[in-house]
Amino acid sequence: MAFTSNHQIKKNKLTDTDPWVWLLEMRHTTTEAFRITNYTQQVTYDSNIFYPYPFEISDFQDSTDSNNSNLRLTVANIGGELQALLDANDGFADVETVLMLLDSANISDGPAREILYRVVGSTATWSSVEFELGSFDLFAKDVPRRKWVRNSCQWPYRNADGTISDLCGYQETSTGAGLATCDKTLFGANGCRAHGNDEVANGFIRLHPKRYGAQPGIPANRQ
């Protein structure tokens, strides 16, 4: 992932009080993930919370082919918590794992580096769990992750816990009818533009349809 201007400035500093931090996300089910950071405090990124938890990453090795070299990840096994999670999920075998490097002073800039791995092996002791991370077989993966469509918003209307989605951002108003659902269209009766009209009618800043999560400019015959 390319550096932003903030990343480039930080990279060139000789000293800095705000460290680079790693975020680790291990997606052990389709709806759950183990998310931690090596920072001293929790980090919220992309609507997800990453909790402080000790872990170490082996040195990255240059590869002569297009694959990432295998990486060794060592995570503290505090109170056997992580081992219990492994036991309940087949040792995290083949689990999709994402490592993200961020500037702790500019989390909203996103990762300066983001690397996708899968778990190819794991061993546990009373004090730590060691994972071997390897590259995905891209021929076995569905890519890209998100389809580009013209007439159906792909942003979640609400987070899984019912809170406001950062991607959509619509908040039901305390005055007026408010809208509890969305039909995911741009111009539908309960679509994105209708939500923007509701925001204006209740004295809020119009966020919609500027946040419409589809690409209506795609030609219809390409859909």
Q: Could you report the per-residue pLDDT of 61-109, keeping only the tens digit for each?
A: 655 554 557 889 999 998 888 989 999 999 899 999 999 999 888 888 8
- What phi and psi values does residue 196 have, to the nearest 5 degrees? -65, -40
pTM of the model: 0.57
* pLDDT tens-digit series, residues 20-74: 899 999 998 888 899 999 999 999 998 899 999 999 998 766 555 545 578 899 9
CB neighbour burial string for 20-48, b if at least 16 within 10 angstroms, e if fewer: bbbbbbbebeeeebbbbbbbeeebebeee
* Domains of the chain: residue spans and CATH: 5-140 (2.30.110), 146-223 (no CATH)
